[in-house]
Amino acid sequence: MNKLITKLQKSLAAFLAFVFALVFTTITYAADAPSAANIAEGGKLFHANCATCHSLGSNKVTGPGLQGVTDRVPAPYQDWMFKWIKNNAALRKSGDAYANKVYADNNGVAMTVFDGTLTDDQIKNIIAYVANPPKEVAQTTGGETSTTGSAKTESGVSDKWIVLLIIGVLLIIITVLRTVRKSLLTVANEKKGIPTVDMGFWKGTIHWIKTHKVHFAVINIFLFACFVTYGWEYLWGIDVTPGYHPSQPINFRHDVHAGQNGIACIYCHSGAEKGKVAGIPTLNVCMNCHKGIQGSNPDFQKEIAKVYDAVGWDPQKAAYTKAPHPVKWNRVHVLPDFAYFNHSQHVSVGKLDCKNCHGDVASFTTDQQFAPLTMGWCIDCHRQTPVQMQGNGYYTKLHEALMKQDTSRKVTEAEMGGLECGKCHY
């Protein structure tokens, strides 16, 4: 009987080792696999640092298109892409054949070295975004946009299934442990001639808690720490709404105006270069073109008719024959009252592209919030973004002084006072 119990104990120990290895592997995989948040953050970093030279399609901009890049580069692609993005020059010097081939195929044009500009986690997030490019945006009724499918990891498994797998494994562990314990207890009691009493799940759990107080306390401390951590992250995300795209009284499509027709942002949002607020253009700006352009299909004609109605324009008589009335637009971007942001400082002085904060607006069917616009996001941008000082009169004296100290390093906005509280807060 003792031999049987010993064998059962050894079998139980081996099973537990296997199960814990399985759980550890699953949890590690889930931790390493990029979440939807990682991919979203990678998208912001990609547009801020990579989109000026690379597209997610097959078309070449300054650098090659990134469509299918995870299949082209040496495996595992995460490791190779990480080394390439962090310091492509060092990778080429190491003798990497593919790195030197990419360099030669692009006429010896070197990519920016991001070592010191982007953290390791940020580079990984960019790779996650490139490996999981956004799906095509579908136009739905009312001019709103929608996407299909849930966020997936790099292997194509959704985060939801990983969580369910972990829960399932834990339930199996609990069931097996209860069964094995019951069998061992029964064998031991039979040897002693004592009847086995099944306390049931709840009474057995309470008995275990009473006899394993230290273990129970450690488990509760761990669960409490998880609750506090995720609760803190959740609270920070309240009212942070990237992707927010309210319906509008007139469905103005940026993909048609800025995308297909190539109208510059500044033509409609003239305040961005010279003022604090970019401004919503008046309908008179729209009428500069739409006095003669009435739309190429029924959907466009319907929206342009709303513009005519608002300004009192009669297209048949080519005259303003009715009383105008205001259009009540639904606001998309909202900053707290205590936060100060000036468009001209960023557009005219900082030489930033509108895409850095607003995303690829030329592809939007409905205007939407691209960036979280949180304080942390702004600070990260100030710490990472080199200041375009050469030829910029605003920074001439500061630039000359800094270049005397070190002519090689890039000066970020953080070093120019971009982290001072008074710069953004009253």
For residue 181, being part of any structural domain is answered with no
> How many residues are there in the chain?
426
Q: Does 369 lie in the same domain as 261?
A: yes
Last residue of a domain, one of 383, 401, 416: 383
Q: Does 377 lie in the same domain as 264?
A: yes
Q: Residue 68: give its domain's CATH number.
A: 1.10.760.10
For residue 199, being part of any structural domain is answered with no
Question: What is the spatial distance between Cα 313 and Cα 287, in angstroms, rounded to a whole number?
Answer: 9
Q: Does 326 lie in the same domain as 418?
A: no
For residue 24, being part of any structural domain is answered with no
Give exposure, 283-318, as e/b (b: 16+ Cβ within 10 Å): beebbeebeeeeeeeeeeeebbeebbebbebeeeee
| Residue 313 backbone dihedrals phi, psi, to 5 degrees | -90, 135
Instruction: DSSP letter for 313, please.
Output: E
For residue 217, being part of any structural domain is answered with no
Question: What is the spatial distance between Cα 405 and Cα 396, in angstroms, rounded to a whole number?
Answer: 15
Q: What is the DSSP string of 3-52?
A: HHHHHHHHHHHHHHHHHHHHHHHHHHHHHHS--HHHHHHHHHHHHHHTTT
Contact 61, 144 (CB under 8 A): no
Q: Does 393 lie in the same domain as 304?
A: no
Over 48-60, what HEC string results? HHCCCCCCCCCCC
Q: Does 113 lie in the same domain as 89?
A: yes
Contact 250, 327 (CB under 8 A): yes
For residue 342, being part of any structural domain is answered with yes
Q: Does 111 lie in the same domain as 55?
A: yes
| Residue 326 backbone dihedrals phi, psi, to 5 degrees | -70, 155
Q: Domain residues for 341?
A: 254-383
Contact 234, 131 (CB under 8 A): no
Question: What is the spatial distance between Cα 363 and Cα 51, in angstroms, rounded to a whole number?
Answer: 13
Strands 145-146 and 138-139: antiparallel
Question: What is the spatial distance between Cα 418 and Cα 340, in angstroms, rounded to a whole number?
Answer: 13
For residue 129, being part of any structural domain is answered with yes
Q: Does 415 lie in the same domain as 337?
A: no
Question: What is the spatial distance between Cα 296 and Cα 290, in angstroms, rounded to a whole number?
Answer: 12
Please report the pLDDT score of residue 162 as a whole number.
78
CA nearest 7: which of 15, 122, 139? 15
Q: What is the pTM of this model?
A: 0.52
For residue 243, being part of any structural domain is answered with no
Last residue of a domain, one of 146, 175, 208: 146
Q: Does 366 lie in the same domain as 388?
A: no
Question: What is the spatial distance between Cα 94 and Cα 278, in angstroms, rounded to a whole number?
Answer: 48
Q: Does 287 lie in the same domain as 354?
A: yes
Please report the pLDDT score of residue 82 as a whole number.
93
Q: Does 357 lie in the same domain as 267?
A: yes
Q: Does 390 lie in the same domain as 303?
A: no
Q: Which two tokens stand for residue 355?
A: 């895409």
Contact 66, 60 (CB under 8 A): no
Last residue of a domain, one of 383, 400, 416: 383
Q: Which two tokens stand for residue 402?
A: 């800094």
Q: What is the DSSP string of 68-113?
A: THHHHSPSSHHHHHHHHHHHHHHHHHTT-HHHHHHHHHTTT-PPPP
Number of domains in the chain: 3
Contact 364, 254 (CB under 8 A): yes
Question: What is the spatial distance between Cα 310 and Cα 250, in angstroms, rounded to a whole number?
Answer: 10
Q: Does 371 lie in the same domain as 288?
A: yes
3-state secondary structure (DSSP) of residue 386: strand
Q: What is the largest CA-CA distance in the chain?
A: 107
For residue 204, being part of any structural domain is answered with no
pLDDT in tens, the chain (426 residues): 555 555 555 565 566 566 566 555 555 555 555 666 688 888 888 877 887 678 787 767 667 888 889 999 998 899 999 999 999 989 999 999 999 998 888 888 778 888 877 899 999 999 999 988 875 433 333 333 333 344 444 444 555 677 788 888 888 887 887 788 778 778 887 888 887 777 777 887 888 888 889 999 999 999 999 899 988 888 887 777 888 889 999 999 999 999 888 999 999 999 999 999 999 999 999 999 998 888 888 899 999 999 999 999 998 888 999 999 999 999 999 888 899 999 998 998 888 889 889 988 988 888 889 988 989 899 999 988 887 766 667 667 777 777 777 666 677 888 778 899 998 997
